[in-house]
Amino acid sequence: MGVEGIGARVARKEDKRFVTGKGKYVDDVRVHGMTYAHFVRSPHAHAKVKSIDISEAMKKTGVVAVLTGKEIVEDKIGNLICGWMIHSKDGTPMKMGAWPAMAPETVRFVGQAVAVVIGETRNQARDGADAVEVTYDELPAAASITAAIAAGAPQLHPEAPGNIIYDWHIGDQAATDTAFKSAANVVAMDILNNRLVPNAMEPRSAVAEYDSAEEHFTLHTTSQNPHVARLVLSAFYGVAQEHKLRVIAPDVGGGFGSKIFIYPEEMVALWASKRTGRPVKWTSDRTEAFLTDAHGRDHLTKAEMAFDKDNKIVGLRVKTHANLGAYMSLFSSSVPTYLYATLLSGQYNIPNIYAEVVSVYTNTTPVDAYRGAGRPEASFVVERMMETAARKLKADPAELRRKNFITSFPHQTPVIMAYDTGDFNASLDAALKTIDYAGFPARKAKAKSEGKLRGIGFSCYIEACGIAPSKAVGSLGAGVGLWESAEVRVNPVGTIEILTGSHSHGQGHETTFAQVVADRLGISVNQVSIVHGDTDKVQFGMGTYGSRSGAVGISAIVKAMEKMEAKAKKIAAHHLEASEQDIVIENGEFKVAGTDKAMALANVALSAYTAHNLPDGMEPGLKESAFYDPSNFTFPAGCYVCEVDVDPGTGKTTFVNFVAADDFGRLINPMIVEGQVHGGIAQGIGQALLEGAVYDESGQLLTASYMDYAMPRADDLPSFKLQHTTTLCPGNPLGIKGCGEAGAIGSTPAVINAITDAIGHDKLEMPATPSRVWHAIHMKQAAE
Amino acid sequence: MSTIKLTVNGKAVSADAEDRTLLVHLLRDHLGLTGTHVGCDTSQCGACTVHIDGRAVKSCTVLVGQANGSKITTIEGLSKGDELHPMQAAFRDNHGLQCGYCTPGMIMSAVDMVHRHSGKLDEATVRQELEGNICRCTGYHNIVKSVLDAAGRMKVANAAE
């Protein structure tokens, strides 16, 4: 592998700028003549906008302009879109209500923008916004799934009667019902997957400039996918033409899905820069982020799992209601359908699955992909069911899982996915060994003698990553292809630039992508620069989400490298008077195998650019590009085991041990992979114990700051013990499966399974706060 | 408007700012020191942590008038030229950062933490002391490792001086 090649724990190239304060995030961008935007937002969850009086605001010092939904309509700016078509059971298309960037008539969630004030300074814009007088006619609100589907519920969109967006299903209902009839045991559960707020530490931000002479826009924005942003802003919103819009996503401070989407604020900033003739900066504050960044999860599920007399699963039936909020965000429709129900087979042989998903509008912030996006919800259903089943069937939870594991591959599940490879026994065994499962009864007894309730919980997760084969997702309703692009530019001196359509917002691509190149050529990572995040520099690409940058983004780089290397070998062979088949690449040189004849990469590159002596007919230059479209999803999988102590007096949960054994296929930089797992586990534990977006009945978000929404802090979490087992993904050149989301998918059920094991009571909602755990303990005692 | 005089990273600076200006905005908007970040509005996340007269303070809790006359160190002033401060080096070496947004505040808090505990730190203490700094990427695992590693390096560096 070499010290800097594939598999090496190379320290990150990007870190020097981050540890010295030299990172360049969007809010750090300052341009001449820049103004600041501040939005006027609805305080009501559901209301008609009666009037907007901007006269006092316009008198305020430093106010440049006040713009409202009326001007958006005037300028024929398009509504926000959802780019994934889902059809209901009856074949009708999903019911999408209109989402204007600033509401001209009706507001449907607290925080929805109705106007924007452009000011000379941040404070002047804010003062102006305070002076905008908006009068509303309040309407009754439906702030939860239950409220939205109740008889007589307030109706959000005329397009969606009963607030139902779609009523979708997957699997074979009749076969599943038959399997249940013959079952020896059936386990049924109601499962609530709590609503979360992604909370990347860098709030969303935009700096928009318009050049009237060139009719050209430049937008710096916090995006995980700048090309997709440019496409949507031009093709759908019509703010700018695609070739007249440069989107730059520089250093971006975390995303976790929330920066995939194209939001109203960035669009308004871009539009306002032309309308006012001044550059416009907008930066979200944290409460705006809570109110307007797409939220995650929020499912209500009824699930039943049927077993035969040998404890083999014979069927799974699931009915889920998913809350999509007040409007359909960019990929919202796909999250509770194709990213969720297709993973309900978990790691298990389940011959019959039938799942129904009803997505509903509510007067809350729109919901879309958040780390894992549908797969954590699926994993939570399957793994809570398995653990609860083990308790009901009086089976060991590890052995019940093992008995039902899929062991031969490829494996076609009843819910679309075809698992290509895996070894679920290997990750289970690694986890059991690391946590010393055999010693658990003794540890539990000791904890009991100390007045603590000890519990252990498992989670054997699987996810579909490497998103995604374009043809397959196209057939399922996706509005885009999900390939990735790469360009390799070898400079005349032999240094290399890789232009990638992937985007790094913490994942360390500048290092890992360089390692792949260094490994192939036998050069240092310092000879390689990774260029990303600028639509003027990089060819069209799809960005980073769905754990795709390794499996799809690196695969595109490999493909481009192969093309470049083939040409370079021809050049070297020509100079070395050898056959190109005999040329091998080692330590930065092109060698004739078995001889001491060699030509350094720098000389090959120089020769390509001087073009004085190239093979007949060869074009000058050494630059190749590739588009890579995966043939299948990838299937990272693993086993997480969590051991906790619960204090029966306070209900407080303390971690004793947390083990994660993952199979991600080939690891490029294990240090970075481990970091991804740590962060994912923290978010999963956050969901299990701490985090929850809470709305009151009127649709006010009660958890709209860090004072009210419990972000995991250092002393809420343990150190984690990680293991890796490996089966290489057969679908891409390096065998990569992806690691970005696993932690958030695998950890949550393990924690809840551990706590419910400790307290001996299966009914426990998330977040499992000390109060909830204490009540669960006492409910159990009362029941006894 | 007031004229604020400060020593920032060893240099005397003066700026005219509205009285309601927060120190973090003075640093970022007036002095161009954008390494200090804003992550919340409620002094919870710690991304804005700087040193005021040697103590770690969240610069979003300080009005510029309150800071007038003080000596401020920001993340940009921590390294000696190209030589990273041991805390900065430890964060890099232990992969104590991912997106980098919370990192300047983490590092400034951690340096103060090591000083206050005279370098004697264990995992539980570091975790408790980091309560005022939120990171969404790392799960804190490698941040804790970084701080413990740096505490050792700073002890060695102090002994050498």
Please indicate whether, in this complex, the C-beta atoms of B35 and A21 are within 8 angstroms of each other: yes
Distance from C-alpha of A632 to C-alpha of A750, rounded to nearest angstrom: 28
Check if the beta carbon of residue A623 is closer than 8 Å to that of residue A498: no
As a CATH number, domain B86-160 is 1.10.150.120
Distance from C-alpha of A772 to C-alpha of A749, rounded to nearest angstrom: 16
Q: How confident is the model at residue B161 (pLDDT cuts 50, 70, 90)?
A: low
**A vs B: CB pairs below 8 A:** 185
Fold (topology level) of B2-77: Ubiquitin-like (UB roll) (3.10.20)
Q: Which of A20, A507, A672 lies at the smallest CB-CB distance from B79?
A: A20
Task: Identify the pLDDT of residue B157.
Answer: 79
β-strand partners of A92: none
Residues from chain A that touch B81, judged by Cβ atoms under 8 A, are: none
- Domain range A296-468+632-783, CATH architecture: 2-Layer Sandwich (3.30)
Residue B51: how many CB atoms within 10 A of its CB? 23
Going from N- to C-terminal start, the domains of chain B cover: 2-77, 86-160
Q: How confident is the model at residue A2 (pLDDT cuts 50, 70, 90)?
A: low
> What is this model's ipTM?
0.98
Tens-place pLDDT, residues A17-58:
999 999 999 999 999 999 999 999 999 999 999 999 999 999
Residues 6+ apart with CB under 8 A from A544: A224, A225, A255, A502, A503, A504, A505, A507, A509, A553
C-alpha to C-alpha distances, A594 to A382, A521, A572, A574, nearest whole angstrom: 56, 18, 15, 17
β-strand partners of A598: A591
Q: How confident is the model at residue B159 (pLDDT cuts 50, 70, 90)?
A: confident
As a CATH number, domain A15-20+483-628 is 3.30.365.10
Please, is A650 exposed, middle or buried when counting C-beta atoms within 10 Å of its C-beta (0-12, 13-18, 19+)?
exposed
User: Would you state the torsion angle of the CA atoms of residues A695, A699, A705, A706, taken in this order, to the nearest 10 degrees?
Assistant: 10
Tens-place pLDDT, residues A521-543:
999 999 999 999 999 999 999 99
Tens-place pLDDT, residues A408-464:
999 999 999 999 999 999 999 999 999 999 999 999 999 999 999 999 999 999 999
Residues from chain A that touch B42, judged by Cβ atoms under 8 A, are: 286, 705-707
Tens-place pLDDT, residues A306-341:
999 999 999 999 999 999 999 999 999 999 999 999
Residue B52: how many CB atoms within 10 A of its CB? 18
Residues from chain A that touch B125, judged by Cβ atoms under 8 A, are: none
Find out whether the peptide bond into A749 is cis, omega within 30 degrees of 0: no
As a CATH number, domain A31-139+203-253+259-292 is 3.90.1170.50
Q: How far is A430 from chain B (nearest CA, A)?
A: 21
Find out whether the peptide bond into A468 is cis, omega within 30 degrees of 0: yes
Please, is A775 exposed, middle or buried when counting C-beta atoms within 10 Å of its C-beta (0-12, 13-18, 19+)?
middle
Task: Identify the pLDDT of residue A604.
Answer: 98
Please indicate whether, in this complex, the C-beta atoms of A11 and B92 are within 8 angstroms of each other: yes
C-alpha to C-alpha distances, A194 to A270, A296, A507, A682, A691, nearest whole angstrom: 34, 9, 26, 16, 8
Strand ranges of the sheet holding B55-58, from the earlier edge strand across to the other edge: B11-17, B2-8, B71-73, B49-52, B55-58
Distance from C-alpha of A228 to C-alpha of A223, rounded to nearest angstrom: 9
Q: Which of A16, A506, A711 lies at the smallest CB-CB distance from B134?
A: A711
Q: What percent of chain A has pLDDT over 70?
A: 100
Q: How confident is the model at residue B96 (pLDDT cuts 50, 70, 90)?
A: very high
Enter the tokens of residue A365. 């912030």
Please indicate whether, in this complex, the C-beta atoms of A714 and B127 are within 8 angstroms of each other: yes
Check if the beta carbon of residue A52 is closer than 8 Å to that of residue A115: yes
Distance from C-alpha of A681 to C-alpha of A666, rounded to nearest angstrom: 20
Question: Same CATH topology for A15-20+483-628 and A296-468+632-783?
Answer: yes
Distance from C-alpha of B37 to C-alpha of A23, rounded to nearest angstrom: 10
The answer on pLDDT for A132 being more than 80 is yes
Distance from C-alpha of A442 to C-alpha of A439, rounded to nearest angstrom: 6
Secondary structure percentages of chain A, helix, strand, coil, to 5? 35, 25, 40
Residues from chain B that touch A674, judged by Cβ atoms under 8 A, are: 95, 142
Counting Cα atoms < 13 Å in the Cβ hemisphere of A100 gives 19
Q: How far is CA A203 from the centre of its chain?
A: 16
Q: How far is A289 from chain B (nearest CA, A)?
A: 9
Going from N- to C-terminal start, the domains of chain A cover: 15-20+483-628, 31-139+203-253+259-292, 296-468+632-783
C-alpha to C-alpha distances, A356 to A5, A334, A393, A474, nearest whole angstrom: 46, 14, 26, 21
